[in-house]
Amino acid sequence: MSTSTQTADGSAQPSPGVTAPLGFRASGVTAGLKASGRPDLALVVNDGPLQVGAAVFTSNRVVGHPVTWSRQVVADGVVSAVVLNSGGANVCTGPEGFLDVHRTAETVADALGVSAGDVVVCSTGLIGERLPIDTLLAGVAPAAAALSGTGGPAAAQAIMTTDTVPKTADLTVEGDDGVWRVGAMAKGAGMLAPGLATMLCVITTDAVVDAALADAALRAATSQTFDRVDSDGCMSTSDTVTLLASGASGVAPDPAGFTAAVTAVAAQLARQLVADAEGATHDIAITVTGAQSQDAGLAVARAISRSNLFKAAVYGNDPNWGRVLASVGTVPVEVAAFDPDALDVSINGVMICRAGGAHEPRSKVDLAATREVHVLVDLHAGDEVVTLWTNDLTHAYVSENSEYST
Amino acid sequence: MSTSTQTADGSAQPSPGVTAPLGFRASGVTAGLKASGRPDLALVVNDGPLQVGAAVFTSNRVVGHPVTWSRQVVADGVVSAVVLNSGGANVCTGPEGFLDVHRTAETVADALGVSAGDVVVCSTGLIGERLPIDTLLAGVAPAAAALSGTGGPAAAQAIMTTDTVPKTADLTVEGDDGVWRVGAMAKGAGMLAPGLATMLCVITTDAVVDAALADAALRAATSQTFDRVDSDGCMSTSDTVTLLASGASGVAPDPAGFTAAVTAVAAQLARQLVADAEGATHDIAITVTGAQSQDAGLAVARAISRSNLFKAAVYGNDPNWGRVLASVGTVPVEVAAFDPDALDVSINGVMICRAGGAHEPRSKVDLAATREVHVLVDLHAGDEVVTLWTNDLTHAYVSENSEYST
């Protein structure tokens, strides 16, 4: 197959996002949930012919009411629409908060002529305060009226919180049986952590897939992409990634090809999330090679990505391999086998630590010159390779998270 | 028993630290390891009659050569002296680095007339660079010459790195059989994490104890104190806490009383470490009640203490209970049982979250007015109570750790 991709970054045209595939309409409007007056309510509607849906959610045990609701919605593999709001997360808001979700789904269902039980609800914003529900509900009719086959970018705009840019991506696959597409949008600019970020994502496709394949492909894609982005180690209560399939292309791709396409689009969005993480000045790719398993490599990469000391050093353009080794050493032997005296560390291609000791001089690594920092750790304990993305720890991160309540 | 304590903070006289008990001499001198010219080499000598010693070390798998050496030294329960240097950690320095430790111990042993195999070596500073070993060794004779029964404060001064104040504590126990004492010093102002901080600590006592009791008391004390301080979640490669017993008081306390006294002194130092953590503006005590076990409560407290989002909020004087719940929710159910809808959170005595939802208004909590922040989380799942100390995440932390290499 051949593929063509567009992203919001680096191309003249923004990606159409969720409306890139056939069979979808979307919109983004201002309901009035945000004091700023910016768009805060988005709709994505699947016009079929299929109404296949799947979703993965945060693994946090404290979850928002929208997550509780949406888990029920996707259980039967049928999703007609997704409604998403910024300006309030509807988490820890008591029984009234759950009723607010229910009313939101009912109102959207009425406006679209679908069943409330097929409407996924996603909310993002402050925890612990009820949504101004009347304001939200009043925005549903305008959002439904604004739905269009080119509404993807507007929807992506409406779900932003501390994001500085909207995030969209799409992919067109020209297979032997015909052309089909995957489109997507996401928000999330902090609290990116395993088991997903504080991140809302909607992925659409006009491929012909059943609920089982949609679910399997989505889980495979998120485990390789969003689950390998760890900005600040904090896990959100509201993360939701939904996949909708309309079947409008009439093409039924093979499962491996479909999974690869969904993964590719998710990877683009994950990379955009890292690039827009709160206050970051460096995007850090941590690659662990020579691991005895994917889990072992991921545990080592995760330990490095959680080191505030290392992340502060990168902010200071200091290729501090000692802090890398110190964090690698915290991984228990039963989780990852390695000999501490065999560890190699390269930063941006310069092997500054070899066999657990200093090698090339630090001065050969010029972190000030690059936004991307590539850390390569060789465990010499196997053949598996894992990459995890994170960011540096900066003054701007502290400012944003001490001055902005979530 | 009755006790009296002194600490460096809040008393007119600094605590004599490691020279508070009978049978010990100490010193701190400038060998020239630090560019600043500040004292950087300390000795603590046990003049007996007993030469009992025990130590606990970092649980990091990447350890400094001094840790490897000192583990062997304490294996037989006999320790004559401890030599400590700042200005270089001697970690990841290859085989030559281990020889440097060996030569240091030999030189100290020769100067004191003891066996090198009874000399604990501790080093702190930058990882990955060899110590200027000739400079260090040349400092041993002056350090030995400066030894005195009032040298505790000088020794505490010489082990400082980014510490802003020396840390000493002592305790006098007037038991039924006579008077005995515990004294101590510590350094460590960042990278305070479980399994000890980047922290060097020497505890002395003139009680009559054997190696088994010394080891058991030290492990019990550290598990309740230093292991419950978690400043930035980073674990050092060099942490060492050594206990030396001279027996010079002639008093053999009961094991429980001895353990309590060692724990009390360690608790004082742990509290001083938190108060001096890099760049902190708030000391945060996280108390988890209603846990089904100590381990469960500690896991929950640790999850909160690792939340950069919560710690940044505290820096911004925002009593953000939503971020507390979001971090509590990351603890797996097999680690800690709780119902997310039953969680209560109080901050500085105000219950701002009850049964998983908003309760008292946030405005009732004035974090700007206090250095200490007390977070109380009730899991309603048992009877155990655990307290862990941490700090807020501040601009000064980022500055210190992006501009200073360790």
pLDDT digit string (tens) for A308-366?
A: 889 989 999 999 998 899 899 989 999 999 999 999 999 999 999 999 999 999 899 99
Determine the 3-state secondary structure of B1 from DSSP: coil
Determine the 3-state secondary structure of A6 from DSSP: strand
Note the pLDDT of residue A196.
Answer: 41
Given a cut of 80, is residue B192 above it in pLDDT? no
A191 inside 8 A of chain B by CB: yes
Question: Are residues B15 and B6 in contact, defined by beta-carbon separation less than 8 angstroms?
Answer: yes
Answer whether B233 sits within 8 Å of A306, measured CB to CB: yes
Which residue positions of A form the known binding site for substrate? 161, 187, 198, 278, 401, 406
Note the pLDDT of residue B6.
Answer: 41
Q: Rounded to a whole number, what is the distance in Å from the CA of B190 to chain A's nearest CA?
A: 9
The CATH number that applies at residue B399 is: 3.10.20.340
Question: Which residue matches tokens 């989780």?
Answer: A335
Top residue of B63, B91, B92 to mutate, by most chain A CBs within 10 Å, is: B92
Interval B61-115: pLDDT, tens? 889 999 999 999 999 999 999 999 988 899 888 899 999 999 999 999 999 999 9
The span from the CA of A182 to the CA of B29, in Å, is 68
**Do β-strands B372-378 and B283-291 pair in parallel, antiparallel, or remain unpaired?**
parallel
- Residue B56 binned pLDDT confidence (cut-offs 50, 70, 90): very high
Answer whether B326 sits within 8 Å of A237, measured CB to CB: yes
Distance set, CA B368 to CA A238, B284, B314, B319, B364 (Å) = 30, 13, 9, 10, 12
Out of A66-80, B8-22, B116-130, pick the least confident.
B8-22
B380 inside 8 A of chain A by CB: no
Determine the 3-state secondary structure of A285 from DSSP: strand
ipTM of this predicted complex? 0.77
Which residue positions of A form the known binding site? 161, 187, 198, 278, 401, 406
- Residue A189 binned pLDDT confidence (cut-offs 50, 70, 90): low
B60 inside 8 A of chain A by CB: yes
Residues B67, B131, single domain; the answer is: yes
Residues in chain B with CB shorter than 8 Å from the CB of A189 are none
Domain boundary among B239, B255, B275: B275
Note the pLDDT of residue A32.
Answer: 95
How large is the C-alpha radius of gyration of chain A?
22
Q: Evaluate the omega torsion of the peptide bond into residue A49 and state whether it is cis, within 30 degrees of 0.
A: yes
| Terminal-residue alpha carbon distance, chain B | 43
Question: Are residues A104 and A134 in contact, defined by beta-carbon separation less than 8 angstroms?
Answer: no
Q: What is the spatial order of strands in the sheet that B41-46 belongs to?
A: B24-29, B41-46, B81-85, B119-123
Containing domain of residue B399, as a range? Answer: 283-403
Answer whether B309 sits within 8 Å of A401, measured CB to CB: yes
Residues A302, A248, single domain; the answer is: no
B198 is catalytic: yes
Given a cut of 60, is residue A193 above it in pLDDT? no
- Candidates A7, A93, A198, A259; catalytic one: A198
Interval B166-186: pLDDT, tens? 999 999 999 888 999 999 999
Number of domains in chain B: 2
Note the pLDDT of residue A280.
Answer: 84
The span from the CA of B360 to the CA of B351, in Å, is 6
Top residue of A60, A317, A398 to mutate, by most chain B CBs within 10 Å, is: A398
Helices (H) and strands (E) in chain A, counts: 10, 16
Given a cut of 80, is residue A226 above it in pLDDT? yes
Note the pLDDT of residue B190.
Answer: 56
Residues 6+ apart with CB under 8 A from B378: B288, B289, B290, B343, B344, B345
Residues in chain B with CB shorter than 8 Å from the CB of A326 are 60, 62, 91, 127, 191, 234-237
- Candidates B19, B162, B198, B237; catalytic one: B198
Q: Read off the tokens for A369.
A: 């010159």
The span from the CA of A48 to the CA of A79, in Å, is 10
The span from the CA of B96 to the CA of A196, in Å, is 45
Q: Which of B358, B397, B401 sits opposite A128 (nearest CB)?
A: B358
Measured at the CA of A25, the angle between CA A253 and CA A171, to 5 degrees, comes to 40
Q: Which of A127, A237, A322 sits opposite B127 (nearest CB)?
A: A322
Q: Read off the tokens for A394.
A: 């900066």
Note the pLDDT of residue B234.
Answer: 66
Residues A25, A171, single domain; the answer is: yes
Residues A321, A380, single domain; the answer is: yes
* CA-based nearest residue in chain B for residue A321: B128
Residues 6+ apart with CB under 8 A from B222: B56, B196, B241, B266
CB contacts under 8 A, B 130-189 vs A, are: none
The span from the CA of B212 to the CA of B233, in Å, is 31
Q: Rounded to a whole number, what is the distance in Å from the CA of B343 to chain A's nearest CA?
A: 10
The span from the CA of A175 to the CA of A131, in Å, is 45
DSSP annotation string for A97-127: HHHHHHHHHHHHHHHHTS-GGGEEEEEBS-S
Interval B231-268: pLDDT, tens? 666 678 888 999 999 999 999 999 999 999 999 999 99
Answer whether B307 sits within 8 Å of A234, measured CB to CB: yes
Nearest to A237 by CA among A294, A198, A271: A198
Answer whether A325 sits within 8 Å of B62, measured CB to CB: yes
Q: Read off the tokens for A295.
A: 């889990």
* CA-based nearest residue in chain B for residue A352: B128
Of all residues in chain B, the percent with pLDDT exceeding 90 is 69
Residues A263, A287, single domain; the answer is: no
Domain boundary among B244, B275, B306: B275
Residues in chain A with CB shorter than 8 Å from the CB of B402 are 312-313, 315-316, 318, 393
Residues in chain B with CB shorter than 8 Å from the CB of A356 are 62, 92, 94
* CA-based nearest residue in chain B for residue A239: B326
Given a cut of 60, is residue B12 above it in pLDDT? no
Answer whether B398 sits within 8 Å of A353, measured CB to CB: no
- Residue B11 binned pLDDT confidence (cut-offs 50, 70, 90): very low
Query: A203 or B389: whose pLDDT is higher?
Result: A203
Interval A119-155: pLDDT, tens? 999 998 888 889 999 999 999 999 999 999 999 999 9
Note the pLDDT of residue A403.
Answer: 73
The span from the CA of A89 to the CA of A191, in Å, is 14
Q: Is there a binding annotation on residue B187? A: yes
Distance set, CA B1 to CA A129, A336, B89, B205 (Å) = 52, 48, 40, 16
Interval B339-396: pLDDT, tens? 999 999 999 999 999 999 999 998 999 999 889 999 999 999 999 999 999 988 888 8
Note the pLDDT of residue A326.
Answer: 87
CB atoms within 10 A of CB A254: 13
Residues A189, A299, single domain; the answer is: no
Determine the 3-state secondary structure of A37 from DSSP: coil
A340 inside 8 A of chain B by CB: yes
Note the pLDDT of residue A233.
Answer: 63
Q: Which of B235, B237, B394 sits opposite A398 (nearest CB)?
A: B394
Question: Which residue matches tokens 């050969």?
Answer: A364
- The dihedrals phi and psi of A81, each to the nearest 5 degrees, come to -160, 160
Residues B260, B292, single domain; the answer is: no
pLDDT, mean of residues B329-335: 92
Given a cut of 90, is residue A6 above it in pLDDT? no
Nearest to B55 by CA among B70, B65, B44, B66: B70
Question: Are residues A251 and A210 in contact, defined by beta-carbon separation less than 8 angstroms?
Answer: no
Interval B278-323: pLDDT, tens? 778 999 999 999 999 999 999 999 999 988 889 989 999 999 998 8
Interval B116-128: pLDDT, tens? 999 999 998 888 8
pLDDT, mean of residues B37-58: 96
Q: Read off the tokens for A37.
A: 């007056």
The CATH number that applies at residue A117 is: 3.60.70.12
* CA-based nearest residue in chain B for residue A401: B312
Given a cut of 50, is residue A2 above it in pLDDT? no
The span from the CA of B76 to the CA of B299, in Å, is 34
B360 inside 8 A of chain A by CB: no
Residues A95, A227, single domain; the answer is: yes
B96 inside 8 A of chain A by CB: no
Helix (H) or strand (E) holding B308: helix B308-315
How large is the C-alpha radius of gyration of chain B?
22
SS3 content of chain A, % helix, strand, coil (to 5): 35, 25, 40
Note the pLDDT of residue B309.
Answer: 85
Domain boundary among A275, A302, A328: A275
The span from the CA of B109 to the CA of B107, in Å, is 5
CA atoms within 13 Å, Cβ hemisphere of B93: 25
Query: B21 or A404: whose pLDDT is higher?
Result: B21
Burial of B136 (0-12, 13-18, 19+ CB in 10 A): buried
Mean pLDDT of all residues belonging to chain A: 90
Residue type, B187: K
Q: Read off the tokens for A124.
A: 């993002």
Note the pLDDT of residue B29.
Answer: 98
Q: What is the spatial order of strands in the sheet that A2-7 belongs to?
A: A2-7, A167-175, A178-187, A200-205, A240-245, A52-57
Residue type, A312: A
Residues A248, A374, single domain; the answer is: no
The span from the CA of A125 to the CA of A405, in Å, is 9
Answer whether A128 sits within 8 Å of B395, measured CB to CB: no
B377 inside 8 A of chain A by CB: no
Note the pLDDT of residue B146.
Answer: 98
Answer whether A323 sits within 8 Å of B406, measured CB to CB: yes
Residues A82, A39, single domain; the answer is: yes
Nearest to B202 by CA among B75, B54, B39, B8: B54
Question: Are residues A80 and A45 in contact, defined by beta-carbon separation less than 8 angstroms?
Answer: yes
Residues 6+ apart with CB under 8 A from B31: B40, B41, B85, B87, B135, B136, B138, B139, B140, B142, B143
Residues B141, B174, single domain; the answer is: yes
Q: Which of A327, A358, A398 sits opposite B393 (nearest CB)?
A: A398
Mean pLDDT of all residues belonging to chain B: 90
Residues B66, B210, single domain; the answer is: yes
Alpha-helical runs (H) found in B329-394: none
Nearest to A1 by CA among A184, A246, A202, A182: A182
Note the pLDDT of residue B66.
Answer: 96
Given a cut of 80, is residue A29 above it in pLDDT? yes
Answer whether A306 sits within 8 Å of B353, measured CB to CB: no
A264 inside 8 A of chain B by CB: no
DSSP annotation string for B130-165: ---HHHHHHHHHHHHHT-BTT-HHHHHHHT-SS-SS
